[in-house]
Structure 1
Amino acid sequence: MYILQQLPIYVLLTLCLIYWTERTNGYFAAYSEQNTDQNCFCELEGSINDCSCDVDTVDHFNNMKVYPRLKSLLVKNYFRFFKVNLKRECPFWPDDSKCAIRFCQVENCAEQEIPKGLKEHSEHVDKSALFKYTKEAQNVDCSHAEDFNSALGFLDTSISDQSHREFARWAEHDEAEEEFCILDDDESGSQYVDLLLNPERYTGYKGDSAHRIWKSIYHENCFGMNDTKSVPNYIPHIDLRNVCLEQRAFYRIISGLHSSINIHLSAKYLLSESKDFLSPQGIWGPNLQEFEKRFSPENTNGEGPHWLRNLYFIYLIELRALAKAAPYLRREAYYTGISEEDNEVKLAINDLLSVVESFQSHFDENALFTNGIAAVKFKQEYKEKFRNISRIMDCVGCEKCRLWGKLQTQGLGTALKILYSDKLNQATESGLWNKPHIEADPIFRLRRSEIVALFNAIGRLSTSIFEMDNFRKLLR
């Protein structure tokens, strides 16, 4: 204050004018950002439809708490190696697509790079499914079994090989009933892929082939839309108010996944590449023009901001799945055979799950499938439609796009399996998570590929929300 008193009056007036101008400009800039329809983010405020929280809450929670934890977790060996079959033929149409650039091929990892513990796990995973049909899994008191067998000694108590095969089929059928997507990690054509070596980014995959993929996903799987010729490439958000919650949620899930993938491609765009064919190198970074082309109101008939809002919707669904499965996920060993890293992963998982559980406005899965007989029908249709989407992913012409499409679809399917699994509900309600593994594991089980897909899928959505903030800054 003393220093200000010593300044000449014209200097003080100049400083006041500068201060007032900055404040006024800031005010009108903020006002314009919130009210003009030309701003791609003008809709991204307030509550998220069909959820109980708002965009700002999710932004802060994700960018400050979830994203940093997932970023450090997903580079660990347990989560970076994903087993997938990229050679399955498209069941719907001939594959006539071509990659536009050199970077769309998946680079295979060397056999010696795969942790030994992962390969050991895949060798015995199918045997564990048979446990539920053993004597131990039934929790039967067998203390008098010897006397009982002697009394009925004339019975043949051995189990034939044929019976074991039947048990295996029962186990596979029981697990398949819970699935929302098709798993191919145990097929002969499956192989491990290093996700860090093959990051999701722009590959130049576009044109009729790419459009046919999304058109099939939207139109062939949308409720009550059989005349696909008369339907545009999207459902106007205003029309969603005329459908029931289950139908609206299904569309918003697909739209949110689509938006997330488009954000990844815009955030990791090929800005330049070397001319060396033997050792191709590229420089990747955010492309604001590409982002605006995909989401700005001018280029999307005003729908872009609503597509971005759907990203938050699917994020909340997968976040809720992590929270609901937390008791089960804490029991996992996350075994790779590298003891020090395995212990680090378990600690990091516990930390992440505690943060996720602390979120106050999770998606309410009980809002769906509550209308009696119609609910059972809708739930079954959800499973059929998502399984169909799994098949469509085998038609993606770009190999790297197919990899990440299959992974994120499988992660979404795993999230829905968690949210709507009767077995998981039974295990939670009966308190089985507090009992030894041998009693609880047969009730509900996730394969390693499902866990890897689940965490990487929420990692992709988390990254999309984080990248949104970067594009927001570029736009400003």
Structure 2
Amino acid sequence: MRLILTMTLYNSCGVWILLSLFCAVISFLSSEPKLSDHCFCKLKGRIDDCSCSVDTVDHFNNMKVFPRLQSLLNKNYFRFYKVNLKHECPFWSDDSRCAIRYCHVEPCLEADIPPGLKGVSSKNAATIKESTNFKYSQAAQNVACEHEFSRELGYLNTTISADAYREFARWKAHDDARDSFCDSEDDHEDAEYVDLLLNPERYTGYRGEPAHRVWHSIYMENCFRPKNTYGAYIQSSKLSGMCLEKRVFYRTISGLHSSINIHAVSKYLLSDNTSLLGSPEGKWGPNLQEFHRRFDPERTDGEGPSWLRNLYFLYLLELRALAKASPFLEREEYFTGNEAEDEEVRLAVRNFLSVVRSFPDHFNESSMFSGGKQARKLKEEFRQHFRNISRIMDCVGCDKCKLWGKLQIQGLGTALKILFSGKFDSMDPFGNDLSDVSKSKFQLKRGEIVALFNAFGRLSTSIVELEKFREMMR
């Protein structure tokens, strides 16, 4: 009897201990803040240096912009990007490479490139014989030109040498560079077309000292910095001590860095398997722990949420550039040689830009670089700093990272050119007829347009991925 009673008491005591432990664990877990509270608690309210809120951008992007933009970027005009991945790093010697095989970039075969992207546009196809190649051929020199003779002055030679044309091209390149914030990618002889859909941006394993060196050079040597700041990242509390232009520069770079990090953790290599036939296959998806590591305030000295807010700032800046250049972009031909698809793209672009213009609280660039000589000097410093960053992209040791880094930097540089070069200031993005405006004054190359749309597409995707991480944390 005593034995039975003792066992009963022992069992009851054991159950009581287990229940107590269970309740303690539940109490601890319920009192511990959720990851969503850590990463997103400050990601609300008004966006710094802008007039609209995070919630407004979330709804506008996820419901209106993202679906239209993803459909548009699948079209041939936007999916083929010409880029030079062979340019040597101009700042340091570095032979680092990414750690996994998925970072290789496969350029397009000649047969894969749409005919309209190979240099023959719909307008110049009929006048190809008037090119300089024909003009300075032997046949052209044998053609008699009666108008080149004058009874009073005698023979008038109106031809221009090939050397002179090359010099004119240098002059034009110099003039264009004065307004550009980054070097052109598609003019270099080593540039090749890449299919962006076959080379998606995702985690490549490129990390550690080589990647750190790139970002350290960008932040420490090219971002404007307040006094007495020594780390690569500027604390958000110290940004108020800088002028608006310098804050804008830092927020754009920080926002781009955040966006790239989000792309890496949302398309993370979860498993690396090899099929029976030997072809590499990987499973890609969101990595919540990695997101937590990169943005949780406890692991980022409190700065993670501010970095995410800078993503929204950059989104608004590029959204404003699209709205400002929309009269020009709506008149672009988007020519690839496929007449049916080209017309579909033109209609889709017009629809997309009408949505962009409908946003109620665009970024206001008019308050920047206003003033006299000092403002002009600051604007030139702003431009030169960004051009340096565009050159640093050649120091990235992973081809796929370099591809998407160059594209997003060129897209951002194109947005800055639209906002601050002054060439687009007379355009009215809100519906007035600008058909009489000379298009030549507002020239954007095809590579700049492709980079602008794809770079904004990356920001749009990042904001959608943030919502998915919110849901996962909940």
Q: Normalising to structure 2: TM-score of the pair?
A: 0.83
Does the residue aligned with 1:413 lie in a helix, a strand or coil? helix
Q: Deviations over 1:365-414 (max 9, x none)?
A: 11211132221111111110111011100000011000000000000000
Letter in 2 for 1:183: S
Distance 1:63 1:158, change over 3 A: same
Structure 1 residue 421: Cα displacement: 2.1
Structure 1 residue 102: Cα displacement: 1.0
Partner of 1:199: 200
Find the aligned partners of 2:376 and 2:349 in 1 and give their Cα distance: 34
Matched, 1:170 2:171: yes
Distance 1:153 1:242, change over 3 A: same
Partner of 1:69: 68
Partner of 1:386: 386
Matched, 1:41 2:19: no
Structure 1 residue 334: Cα displacement: 0.3
Structure 1 residue 178: Cα displacement: 1.1
Q: Deviations over 1:49-68 (max 9, x none)?
A: 10010000000000000000
Find the aligned partners of 2:114 and 2:37 in 1 and give their Cα distance: 51
Letter in 1 for 2:460: S
Partner of 1:317: 317
Distance 1:453 1:122, change over 3 A: farther
Matched, 1:55 2:45: no
Does the residue aligned with 2:96 lie in a helix, a strand or coil? coil
Q: What residue ranges of structure 1 are gaps of 5+ in the alignment?
A: 1-28, 132-145
Structure 1 residue 453: Cα displacement: 0.1
Length, aligned pairs only = 422
Find the aligned partners of 2:155 and 2:40 in 1 and give their Cα distance: 73
Partner of 1:232: 231
Does the residue aligned with 2:185 lie in a helix, a strand or coil? coil
Find the aligned partners of 2:177 and 2:156 in 1 and give their Cα distance: 32
**Residue identity (%):** 59
* 1:24-423 alignment runs, 5 A limit: 39-121=38-120, 153=153, 156=156, 158-161=158-161, 162-224=163-225, 231-276=230-275, 278-423=278-423
Partner of 2:471: 473
Partner of 2:137: none
Find the aligned partners of 2:152 and 2:178 in 1 and give their Cα distance: 37
Structure 1 residue 163: Cα displacement: 4.0
Partner of 1:20: none
Does the residue aligned with 1:310 lie in a helix, a strand or coil? helix
Q: Structure 1 stretch 180-189 or stretch 195-204: which is displaced more?
A: 180-189
Letter in 2 for 1:443: K
CA contact (8 A) 2:206 2:398 kept: yes
Distance 1:335 1:364, change over 3 A: same
Q: Deviations over 1:442-465 (max 9, x none)?
A: 211000000000000000000000
Structure 1 residue 150: Cα displacement: 6.2
CA contact (8 A) 1:427 1:440 kept: no
Find the aligned partners of 2:473 and 2:329 in 1 and give their Cα distance: 39
Structure 1 residue 278: Cα displacement: 4.1
Distance 1:471 1:304, change over 3 A: same
Structure 1 residue 180: Cα displacement: 0.3
CA contact (8 A) 1:76 1:345 kept: yes
Letter in 1 for 2:72: L
Structure 1 residue 43: Cα displacement: 0.7
Distance 1:358 1:152, change over 3 A: farther
Letter in 1 for 2:386: F
Does the residue aligned with 1:173 lie in a helix, a strand or coil? helix
Distance 1:240 1:344, change over 3 A: same
Rg comparison, structure with higher value:
2
Q: Structure 1 stretch 272-281 or stretch 108-117: which is displaced more?
A: 272-281
CA contact (8 A) 2:84 2:191 kept: yes
Letter in 1 for 2:201: E
Find the aligned partners of 1:442 and 1:239 in 2 and give their Cα distance: 43
Find the aligned partners of 1:152 and 1:458 in 2 and give their Cα distance: 60
Does the residue aligned with 1:404 lie in a helix, a strand or coil? helix
CA RMSD of aligned residues (A): 2.9
Q: Deviations over 1:237-292 (max 9, x none)?
A: 00101111111111111000000000000110011121359411111111100101
Letter in 2 for 1:191: E
* 1:443-458 alignment runs, 5 A limit: 443-458=441-456
Distance 1:123 1:89, change over 3 A: farther
Find the aligned partners of 2:223 and 2:191 in 1 and give their Cα distance: 30
Distance 1:427 1:60, change over 3 A: closer
Q: Deviations over 1:37-86 (max 9, x none)?
A: 95210111110010010000000000000000011000100000000000
Find the aligned partners of 1:426 and 1:397 in 2 and give their Cα distance: 41
Distance 1:421 1:165, change over 3 A: same
